[in-house]
Amino acid sequence: MTVKVFVDMDKCQHYGQCCFEADDIFHLDDDGKLQYVAEADDSRRDDIESAADVCPMQAITVE
């Protein structure tokens, strides 16, 4: 089973708080822009949901 991750890049301000919760899913590139994995194993769901919760812009959706 997989978790689908979506980041609304119009809302995202690239604070990177999500990176602390799930650094294998979210990371800031060399330009400070957020990059993320769109599908992850279901075993990562808790950390991905935590990342969504800490996002100050509430830009992350998990399905």
What total of structural domains would you count in the chain? 1
Answer yes or no: are the C-beta atoms of 49 and 62 closer than 8 Å: yes
Give the separation between CA 31 and CA 42, rounded to whole angstroms. Answer: 30
pLDDT at 30: 98
The CATH number of the domain where 11 resides is what?
3.30.70.20
Task: Tell me the pLDDT tens digit for each residue of 7-63.
Answer: 999 999 999 999 999 999 999 999 999 999 999 999 999 999 999 999 999 999 999
Q: 6 lies in which domain range?
A: 2-62
pLDDT at 38: 98
pLDDT at 40: 98
